[in-house]
C-alpha cells in the first residue's frame, strides 16, 4: 500500500493527480493521511519521521520514503508510468527536467505570496514592496510559459507528461495573485489540465478549497 501525507490543494495534489493518472489497478490501494497546515499537528505527527523539513508531500511505498514533490513525480513516472516519463536518452529528457524545475521556481513564488497574504494575521502586515516584487516575478514565469507554449497542447511536443502535472498544479493558485487575461495560451492550457478525467477526480475528492478567503489578493497599498 502507498501512504501519502497530504494537505488539501497543497503540493501533494500533484502526487494524488499522478496516482490517478497511473491508475489504482497499477499502483494498488492508496492511504491518504490528511494534515492541517499551519498547526502543530504536522510537526507532532509521523510526517516528521519521513520529511526532513516536515512538509508535504511525503510518501511511503515499498519500504521507500520520499518527501519532495518533484522527486516523487519523477520516481513514480519512471517506475509506473513510462508514458508520462522522458527517460535518459530521450531527446525530450532535458526539457522534461527543465519544466520540473521551472514548476518549483513558480511554486516557490506562490508559496511566498501565500505566506505574506494568507498566513500573516493582524497585527502582522505584509510588505507591499515584497509583494509587488514577488507578483512581478510570478507574472514573469507566466510570460515565459505563455511564450513557450506556442501552439502546443502540452509542455512537451510529444504530449502530456509528468512535467504537466508538476506545473499544471500551480495554475490553481496563480489566479489568486495574477490577472490571467493577459495569458490566453496559459488559460487554454489550464483548461486542458482541468479537463483531464484524473484531475477532475482529484478535485472532486478534495472538495471546495478552504485555504483562500477571497477570490483575488491585490498588492497591498504602502
- In this model, does residue 135 exceed pLDDT 90? yes
- Are 13 and 59 found together in one domain? yes
The CATH number linked to 189 is: 1.20.1050.10
30-34 β-sheet, strand order: 30-34, 2-6, 58-61, 64-66
- In this model, does residue 13 exceed pLDDT 90? yes
Examine residue 200 and state whether it is found in any structural domain, yes or no: no
Here the cell at position 149 is 507554449
Q: Which of these, 66, 62, 87, lies nearest to 77 by C-alpha position? A: 87
pLDDT tens-digit series, residues 25-44: 999 999 999 998 877 887 78
pLDDT at 55: 86
pTM of the full predicted structure? 0.94
Examine residue 202 and state whether it is found in any structural domain, yes or no: no
- Are 73 and 99 found together in one domain? no
The residue from 84, 110, 145 where one domain ends is 84
| Phi, psi of 32, deg, nearest 5 | -105, 120
- Are 72 and 26 found together in one domain? yes
pLDDT tens-digit series, residues 51-83: 888 789 999 998 899 999 999 999 999 999 999
pLDDT tens-digit series, residues 191-207: 999 999 999 999 999 99
pLDDT tens-digit series, residues 94-134: 999 999 999 999 999 999 999 999 988 777 888 999 999 99
Amino acid at each position: 500500500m502507498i501512504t501519502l501525507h497530504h494537505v488539501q490543494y497543497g503540493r501533494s495534489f500533484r502526487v494524488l493527480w499522478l496516482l490517478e493518472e497511473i491508475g489504482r489497478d497499477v499502483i494498488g490501494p492508496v492511504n491518504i493521511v490528511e494534515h492541517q497546515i499551519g498547526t502543530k499537528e504536522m510537526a507532532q505527527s509521523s510526517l516528521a519521521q519521513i520529511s526532513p523539513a516536515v512538509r508535504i508531500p511525503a510518501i511511503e511505498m515499498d519500504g521507500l520514503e520520499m518527501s519532495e514533490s518533484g522527486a516523487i513525480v519523477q520516481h513514480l513516472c519512471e517506475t509506473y508510468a513510462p508514458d508520462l516519463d522522458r527517460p535518459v536518452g530521450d531527446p525530450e529528457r532535458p526539457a522534461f527536467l527543465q519544466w520540473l524545475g521551472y514548476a518549483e521556481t513558480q511554486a516557490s513564488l506562490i508559496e511566498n505570496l501565500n505566506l505574506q497574504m494568507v498566513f500573516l494575521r493582524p497585527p502582522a502586515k505584509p510588505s507591499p514592496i515584497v509583494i509587488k516584487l514577488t507578483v512581478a516575478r510570478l507574472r514573469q514565469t507566466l510570460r515565459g510559459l505563455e511564450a513557450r507554449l506556442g501552439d502546443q497542447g502540452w509542455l512537451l511536443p510529444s504530449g502530456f507528461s509528468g512535467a504537466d502535472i508538476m506545473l499544471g498544479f500551480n495554475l490553481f493558485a496563480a489566479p489568486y495573485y495574477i490577472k490571467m487575461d493577459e495569458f490566453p495560451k496559459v488559460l487554454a492550457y489550464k483548461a486542458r489540465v482541468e479537463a483531464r478525467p484524473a484531475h477532475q477526480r482529484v478535485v472532486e475528492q478534495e472538495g471546495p478549497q478552504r485555504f483562500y478567503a477571497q477570490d483575488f489578493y491585490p498588492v497591498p497599498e504602502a
